[in-house]
A and B are shown apart, each in its own frame.
Chain A
Amino acid sequence: MIPELGHFALALAVALACAQGFVALLGARRLDARWMAAGGALALGQFIAVALAFAALVWSSVIDDFSVLNVAENSHSLKPLLYKISGAWGNHEGSILLWCLMLAGCGAAVAGFGRGLPSALRARVIGVLGGCSAGFLLFTLLTSNPLMRLWPPPADGRDMNPLLQDPGLAFHPPLLYAGYVGFAVPFAFAVAALIEGRVDAAWGRWVRPWALASWSLLTGGIALGSWWAYYELGWGGYWFWDPVENASLLPWLTGTALLHSAIVVEKREALKTWTILLAIATFSLSLTGTFLVRSGILNSVHSFASDPTRGVFILGLLVIVIGGSLALFAWRAPSLGATGLFAPVSREGALVLNNIFICSIASVVFTGTLYPLFAELVFGAKLSVGAPFFNATVLPLSVPVLLAMTVGQILPWKRAALGPALLRLWWAALAATAVGVTVALGLRVVLPAIGFAGAVWLVLGSFGEIIERVRLFRVPLSVSRARLAGLSLSVWAAAIAHAGMGVTVAGIAGMALASEKITAVAAGETIAFAGYDWTMEGVRAGTGPNYNERIAPIAVHRNGVFIVRLAPARRAFTTQRMETTETSIHTTGFADLYAVLGEERDGKAILRLHYNFLAPWIWIGALIMSFGGFLSIADRRLRVGAPARGGKAGRTSHAVAAE
């Protein structure tokens, strides 16, 4: 019964989404307040309907209802509860329903939290989101319905890929999709602005919290995925430039560019056309990524069961959504108003530079990911573009951005001189050079030294803006302290987010210094590695709910002091007949001690031990960046028009330009 209710809810959601699209857009056109309000209500209704359908799927999985096809194909009665729930989105149909849920959530969020927006703009945004939702829900209902029944039901399910039965997987797709799909809101804002024929400073301000929210969530999602790959796949690597990873990185890159160019729109009413194009491009990249991954057209480790006919459907959806918005862009964008001026060397200029380089990186990743397809079509040739290519091209392009990030933060608006600005950061440059030279001479390495120098430059220099604003050491300390208290949250957020990038760079540089050792060890043997003593205590057998495992406890000591007992294991899953390696990691905050168990032969176990210097910093840095993004949303200035406390309601929202 429940799956049928869910199925009905899904169909209802399609109808609601269509209504949402029509009513809201028409209401905005006719400036009919009731219709515009109805659009918001329909958005909420659509979200509830999709949520019910999703809940029905999760419920069926939890109670082991194998008459639901999706549950029979992907679940098993012995699977732990957490994975029964997360397994709902661990396959194509369930994850596309999750996509729809997030998209419906976007509409509901704008309806609920967008009260400060002018009603026509809000209605248009909700309308566009409704149209997109309608398309995706229809696709789900017609081609990838997770609530289809299977009769007669099998005795038990086929179980989920063991690699996916992991806590990291439980949170990675929802977080990633929230970010990925969340960029639909800036997209809708762009389309709404094109329909209205007006992009102004107010628009720049209104779109920013939504872009920030999606960006922060996406940063978290990508970082979680990278961390999951690191500890689950057992290779000690954290980013493989796999097409699916690139598909999530591309909207992140253009989203970062969008965040920064929206600031120029707000400040100068310049770069309007470019920002609109970026907003459209970011969501388009999310959609393209979805298409590439699910159609099977690209060769990837993360494969969903691919299906060319399904691919054609998604392609059609893509062409309608992206094509429609780009056609609107070609028609309306040329008439967007005159733009403000700024000198090439200025904060706006630095933001333009940021955009050029970040979008160049995005172009390279895009070209590299799609090149095998291009070569197949045009030359009939089969080639691969893998990690070595991306490392060789992206890393050089990122250096200018990383260097310029801190300088851009302290440049004045409109017109600036580069010399004085650079001089103000002398202390960060000094510290960076000192660290770089020390590492280079001490460890006799070049690139990691440059990496560490860059990280120090970023972390210290990011706070350069704050130091500038409080005029530290140039005015009495009491004055500085007063200025510090008066700083808006977004200034702190920018500093924190940029510093977070520095921490990630430090982590990446540290990983370049990681060391590893592969040895065959007998029980009781001790290996000295990376300043620690690793004693393998003997391999023993164990069992889990749906697997058998071999565990090799390793006691790690340093200078005789016991640190931790690692327990790497190899699991053999009974139903899917797969073996996975469970790595054992202990983090000291500055490094990861990482152990993997290999095969056992001749009474010895093959162990691979890693000392991953600064590995945790990669993800801590991403967390800091994400936190910075969220902090920025909390800035009161972005919530202009929210009803004031104490009932001074009804203030019309007009944009107050950033100071």
Chain B
Amino acid sequence: MNPVGRRLMFLAPLALLGIGGVGAFTLLKRMAEGDFDPRGVPSMLIDKKVPDFTLAAQSGQAGFSAADLAGAGQPVLVNFFASWCLPCVAEAAQLLALKQRGVALWGIAYKDRDEETARFLKQHGNPFARIGRDAEGKAALEFGVYGVPETYLVDRAGIVRWRWVGALTDVVVARALNPLLKQYA
């Protein structure tokens, strides 16, 4: 092997470290900016039709199905929530604010009892135009939900355009949701 080749071979581990270091730094930067979440799970539904489901209604409100979403005539925010979920309490105020702005909010009560959901809505306010009951969590599985709260933006044609895991905050609404609401209005 010629001397130059040999030198290059000895430099290989250092080069590998360099590439690795740059890669790691990029990932750390993305983590700090919120672009990369090692624990996050991307949604498989983005730009796809809402999965088929039909849900019974929460007492006192109308329920809904996938077909209803497609025929809503406006973009709908579908929010999975539960009375036993703490971040749902945190985002209650945010959802009410969205309702004030005229955004259509349809809720799905995930693995909850009728009375508990009613109590939750009475205590923290009810931003939902319609509420479906998903006591078994089957509809949630179709959506690819793995925890609450999760929020899906469905456009007029019934296509899922955006998904957020966790409580909606001012930052998320301003940065991510508002532009999309405008786009799919």
- How many whole Å from B167's CB to the nearest CB in chain A? 20
- Chain A residues, Cβ within 8 Å of B39: 299
Q: Return the contact of A373 from the options B7, B13, B23, B40 (Cβ within 8 A).
A: B23
Contacting pair A382 B41 (CB below 8 A): yes
Contacting pair B28 A312 (CB below 8 A): yes
Give A318 to B22 CA distance when docked, in angstroms.
12
Within B29-47, the residues touching A (CB, 8 Å) are: 29, 31-32, 36, 38-42
- Chain A residues, Cβ within 8 Å of B14: 323, 326-327, 329-330
Contacting pair B17 A326 (CB below 8 A): yes
Number of A interface residues at 8 Å Cβ cutoff, please give it: 31
Known: A308-B32, A330-B11. A373 touches B17 (CB 8 A): no
- Chain A residues, Cβ within 8 Å of B31: 296-297, 308, 311
Contacting pair B10 A334 (CB below 8 A): yes
Within B102-131, the residues touching A (CB, 8 Å) are: none
Contacting pair A376 B27 (CB below 8 A): yes
Contacting pair A334 B38 (CB below 8 A): no
Contacting pair B13 A312 (CB below 8 A): no
- Residue-wise, chain B 59-91 has the 8 Å CB interface mask toward A (1 for contact) of 000000000000000000000000000000000
In the complex, whether B24 has a CB less than 8 A from a CB of chain A is yes
Contacting pair A297 B10 (CB below 8 A): no
Q: Return the contact of B23 from the options A296, A372, A377 (Cβ within 8 A).
A: A377
Known: A334-B7, A376-B36. A308 touches B13 (CB 8 A): no
- How many whole Å from A44's CB to the nearest CB in chain B? 32
- Chain B residues, Cβ within 8 Å of A382: 40-42
In the complex, whether B169 has a CB less than 8 A from a CB of chain A is no
In the complex, whether A148 has a CB less than 8 A from a CB of chain B is no
Q: Return the contact of B28 from the options A315, A333, A372, A376 (Cβ within 8 A).
A: A315
Give A265 to B126 CA distance when docked, in angstroms.
75
Nearest CB in chain A to that of B18: its residue: A323
Interface centre among A284, A296, A318, A330 (most CB of B within 10 A): A330
Give A415 to B145 CA distance when docked, in angstroms.
64
Nearest CB in chain A to that of B24: its residue: A315
- How many whole Å from B55's CB to the nearest CB in chain A? 28
Known: A277-B13, A327-B14, A334-B7. A319 touches B28 (CB 8 A): no
Contacting pair A297 B26 (CB below 8 A): no
In the complex, whether A612 has a CB less than 8 A from a CB of chain B is no
Contacting pair B13 A297 (CB below 8 A): no
In the complex, whether A309 has a CB less than 8 A from a CB of chain B is yes
In the complex, whether B147 has a CB less than 8 A from a CB of chain A is no
Q: Return the contact of B21 from the options A308, A319, A372 (Cβ within 8 A).
A: A319
- Chain A residues, Cβ within 8 Å of B18: 323
- Chain B residues, Cβ within 8 Å of A374: 23
- How many whole Å from A281's CB to the nearest CB in chain B? 8
- How many whole Å from A164's CB to the nearest CB in chain B? 20
- How many whole Å from A143's CB to the nearest CB in chain B? 14
In the complex, whether B25 has a CB less than 8 A from a CB of chain A is yes
Give A299 to B40 CA distance when docked, in angstroms.
10
Interface centre among B6, B14, B18, B24 (most CB of A within 10 A): B24
Interface centre among B6, B11, B18 (most CB of A within 10 A): B11
Known: A315-B24, A382-B41. A326 touches B13 (CB 8 A): yes
- Chain B residues, Cβ within 8 Å of A309: 32
In the complex, whether A77 has a CB less than 8 A from a CB of chain B is no
- Chain A residues, Cβ within 8 Å of B26: 377
Contacting pair A299 B38 (CB below 8 A): yes
Contacting pair B38 A298 (CB below 8 A): yes
Give A277 to B25 CA distance when docked, in angstroms.
24
Nearest CB in chain B to that of A300: its residue: B38
Nearest CB in chain A to that of B12: its residue: A330
- Residue-wise, chain B 118-159 has the 8 Å CB interface mask toward A (1 for contact) of 000000000000000000000000000000000000000000
- Chain A residues, Cβ within 8 Å of B6: 334
Nearest CB in chain B to that of A372: its residue: B38
- How many whole Å from B47's CB to the nearest CB in chain A? 15
In the complex, whether A38 has a CB less than 8 A from a CB of chain B is no
Contacting pair B17 A323 (CB below 8 A): yes
- Chain B residues, Cβ within 8 Å of A291: 24
- How many whole Å from A328's CB to the nearest CB in chain B? 10
In the complex, whether A78 has a CB less than 8 A from a CB of chain B is no
Give A401 to B171 CA distance when docked, in angstroms.
55
In the complex, whether A385 has a CB less than 8 A from a CB of chain B is no
- Chain B residues, Cβ within 8 Å of A277: 13
In the complex, whether A295 has a CB less than 8 A from a CB of chain B is yes
Within A340-395, the residues touching B (CB, 8 Å) are: 372-374, 376-377, 382
Within A282-336, the residues touching B (CB, 8 Å) are: 284, 291, 295-299, 308-309, 311-312, 315, 318-319, 322-323, 326-327, 329-330, 333-334
Give A311 to B14 CA distance when docked, in angstroms.
21
Known: A299-B38, A322-B17, A376-B36. A330 touches B24 (CB 8 A): no
- How many whole Å from B25's CB to the nearest CB in chain A? 6
Nearest CB in chain B to that of A322: its residue: B17
Within A266-289, the residues touching B (CB, 8 Å) are: 277, 280-281, 284
- How many whole Å from B84's CB to the nearest CB in chain A? 14
Contacting pair A296 B38 (CB below 8 A): yes
Contacting pair A333 B10 (CB below 8 A): yes
Give A377 to B18 CA distance when docked, in angstroms.
15
Contacting pair B32 A315 (CB below 8 A): no
Nearest CB in chain A to that of B31: its residue: A308
Nearest CB in chain A to that of B3: its residue: A334
- How many whole Å from A232's CB to the nearest CB in chain B? 23
Contacting pair A373 B27 (CB below 8 A): yes
- Chain B residues, Cβ within 8 Å of A327: 14
- Chain A residues, Cβ within 8 Å of B7: 330, 334
Contacting pair A329 B27 (CB below 8 A): no
Contacting pair B28 A377 (CB below 8 A): no
Give A373 to B21 CA distance when docked, in angstroms.
12
Question: Can you give 11 A-B contacts (C-beta < 8 A)?
Answer: A299-B39, A315-B21, A315-B24, A323-B14, A323-B18, A327-B14, A329-B10, A330-B7, A334-B7, A334-B10, A377-B23
The 9 closest A-B pairs by CB, nearest first: A326-B14, A308-B32, A308-B31, A330-B10, A330-B11, A299-B38, A308-B28, A319-B21, A311-B28
Q: Which residues does A use to contact B, with CB under 8 Å?
A: 277, 280-281, 284, 291, 295-299, 308-309, 311-312, 315, 318-319, 322-323, 326-327, 329-330, 333-334, 372-374, 376-377, 382
Known: A298-B38, A326-B17, A334-B10. 15 other contacts (CB 8 A): A277-B13, A280-B13, A295-B28, A296-B38, A297-B27, A309-B32, A315-B21, A318-B21, A326-B13, A326-B14, A329-B13, A330-B7, A330-B14, A334-B7, A377-B26
